[in-house]
Amino acid sequence: MRHRIAVVGAGPGGLTFARVLHRLGHPVVVLERDRGPGSRPPGGTLDLHEGLGQLALDKAGLLARFREVSRPEGQAMRILDPAGTVLRDWRPRPDERANPEIDRGQLRDLLLGPLDVRWGQEVTGVVPGDGALVQFGDGRQETFDLVVGADGAWSRVRPAVSPVTPCYTGVTAVETSLDDVDTRHPDLAELIGDGAVAVYGVNRAVVAQRASGGHVKVYVQLRAPLDWLAGVDLTDVEAARSALLALLDGWAQPVRDLVGRGAAFVHRPIHVLPPSHTWAHVRGVTLLGDAAHLMPPLGAGANLAMLDGAELAESLVIDGGDLDGVVRAWEERMWARAARWAAITMSGLERLVGPDPAAALALFDEVQPS
Ligand SMILES: Cc1cc2nc3c(=O)[nH]c(=O)nc-3n(C[C@H](O)[C@H](O)[C@H](O)COP(=O)(O)OP(=O)(O)OC[C@H]3O[C@@H](n4cnc5c(N)ncnc54)[C@H](O)[C@@H]3O)c2cc1C
């Protein structure tokens, strides 16, 4: 039986959902607010885990292609103390395929493939009823048998099933980037290595991570009130730089340079949904990915969004006609997995940006044994 299915959001979760449906021969409408795939910078790099994001890509028939474009060497992780002493220097074996990195833009293009996304479609709300009514920013409306909200942290689909909104974790981040690092900043390129370098101090950290093409994202993370930057205009690059470098007073010069050589700064406070976020099932509407279970950015969110999408798509086609029953059963499985990862990532954030830098180091000993 053919259902009219729409997914709101062409992020990793929405695209994986659509791509698996497409592979299984079921039509799907993808509604995305962005004007096109290149309308904004795609962001940094994602590590896709063997049992999560890679499993989802396998279900989409894209695992072999992922292996060609991803960067296993990007799993390398070096940890320093604020004085610049190397505490840990983990490098993957050449055949290590547990969590290779892929640029977000490459992943998007891989997933897009033959999909026909409706770009420039801003969804403002969904009204459940006899079919789910999608409302658009330009006043149009369209009804589907099932609407899947894969529209991220500030989902406009979520209010149709849940009144819950994200709350601030107490940890914020400022992002900057370095381009052509190997030619323009060879000293920093060496510090970062093939993957990432992280420096953990008391209630603050600096993380720099390499994407492809010599592009590096640098994050300063700290425990602070949400409005700690209220007096600083981040578009004033000098003011932003000096506010950030003041946080790193006494830190080794190369670490300060990771931040100080950045040319533009973006504030990214870390919000989460409650770790056990569920809702009373609503006929014709559901959520996946960050819209359902926003958690700290510690390497799980895109992976979970993709596996959510792949599994829901498979269930809809393979388990058959009872659309509502299939979605309900899938939600139970998705919630259970998300709750486990929300607990892991929340406790990880406590340790990585907390009062005891030794707790951050110990976390890597647990997840990345030498
Ligand atoms: C700095 C950082 C690093 C991270 N690193 C990792 C990592 O290494 N590994 C990992 O697994 N996760 C990582 N994450 C988390 C990951 O980015 C998210 O969990 C993931 O992108 C969620 O995917 P999604 O498809 O649910 O939502 P999103 O990626 O947020 O996509 C949502 C899509 O919906 C669209 N949209 C939004 N509102 C509307 C609307 N009203 N109408 C139509 N379209 C709309 C958006 O334009 C977007 O395209 C990181 C996050 C951050 C911030």
The mean pLDDT of 338-355, rounded to a whole number, is 97
The mean pLDDT of 296-308, rounded to a whole number, is 97
Mutate to test the pocket of ligand 1, among 33, 140, 158 (most ligand atoms within 8 A of CB): 33
| Per-residue pLDDT reduced to its tens digit, 26-58 | 999 999 999 999 999 888 999 999 999 999 999
| Per-residue pLDDT reduced to its tens digit, 64-93 | 999 999 999 999 999 999 999 999 999 999
Question: Residue 319: pLDDT above 90?
Answer: no
- Ligand 1 centroid to Cα of residue 33, in Å, is 13
The mean pLDDT of 140-162, rounded to a whole number, is 98
Q: What local confidence, expressed as pLDDT, does residue 180 receive?
A: 97
**Burial of 114 from C-beta contacts in 10 A (0-12 / 13-18 / 19+):** exposed
Q: What local confidence, expressed as pLDDT, does residue 368 receive?
A: 76
In the block, tokens 């390398």 appear at: 76
Question: For residues 153 and 161, is the Cβ–Cβ distance under 8 A?
Answer: no
Which protein residue's CA is at the shortest distance from atom 3 of ligand 1? 297
| Per-residue pLDDT reduced to its tens digit, 162-197 | 999 999 999 999 999 999 999 999 999 999 999 999
User: For the whole model, what pTM was predicted?
Assistant: 0.97
- Ligand 1 centroid to Cα of residue 11, in Å, is 6
Determine how many CB atoms are found less than 10 A away from the CB of residue 302: 25
Question: Residue 94: pLDDT above 70?
Answer: yes
Which ligand 1 atom sits nearest the alpha carbon of residue 13? 25
Looking at residue 282, the DSSP 8-state letter turns out to be: B
The mean pLDDT of 151-156, rounded to a whole number, is 98
CA distance 16 to 306: 6
Question: For residues 21 and 162, is the Cβ–Cβ distance under 8 A?
Answer: no
pLDDT band at 1 (very low <50, low <70, confident <90, very high): low
Kindly list the protein residues whose Cβ atom lies closer than 6 A to any atom of ligand 1.
8-14, 31-34, 46-47, 122-123, 150-152, 156, 289-291, 297, 299-303, 305
- Ligand 1 centroid to Cα of residue 106, in Å, is 14
Using DSSP, state whether 316 is helix, strand or coil: helix
Question: For residues 33 and 123, is the Cβ–Cβ distance under 8 A?
Answer: yes
The mean pLDDT of 356-367, rounded to a whole number, is 92
- Ligand 1 centroid to Cα of residue 302, in Å, is 7
CA distance 123 to 157: 8
- Ligand 1 centroid to Cα of residue 303, in Å, is 10
Question: Residue 116: pLDDT above 90?
Answer: yes
Torsional sign, CA 4, 117, 330, 155: negative
- Ligand 1 centroid to Cα of residue 295, in Å, is 11
Question: Residue 351: pLDDT above 80?
Answer: yes
Q: What local confidence, expressed as pLDDT, does residue 286 receive?
A: 98
Q: What local confidence, expressed as pLDDT, does residue 229 receive?
A: 87
Percentage of the chain modeled with pLDDT above 90:
92
- Ligand 1 centroid to Cα of residue 82, in Å, is 31
- Ligand 1 centroid to Cα of residue 87, in Å, is 32
Indicate the Cα dihedral angle 142, 144, 149, 155, nearest 10°.
30
Which protein residue's CA is at the shortest distance from atom 30 of ligand 1? 152
CA distance 238 to 244: 10
Which protein residue's CA is at the shortest distance from atom 7 of ligand 1? 299
CA distance 349 to 277: 18
| Per-residue pLDDT reduced to its tens digit, 209-261 | 999 999 999 999 999 999 998 888 999 999 999 999 999 999 999 999 999 99
Mean predicted lDDT score pLDDT of the chain: 96
Which protein residue's CA is at the shortest distance from atom 33 of ligand 1? 9
The mean pLDDT of 140-164, rounded to a whole number, is 98
Mutate to test the pocket of ligand 1, among 121, 151, 271 (most ligand atoms within 8 A of CB): 151
Among residues 155, 63, 154, the alpha carbon closest in space to that of 107 is found at 63
Question: For residues 252 and 201, is the Cβ–Cβ distance under 8 A?
Answer: no
In the block, tokens 């907390």 appear at: 354
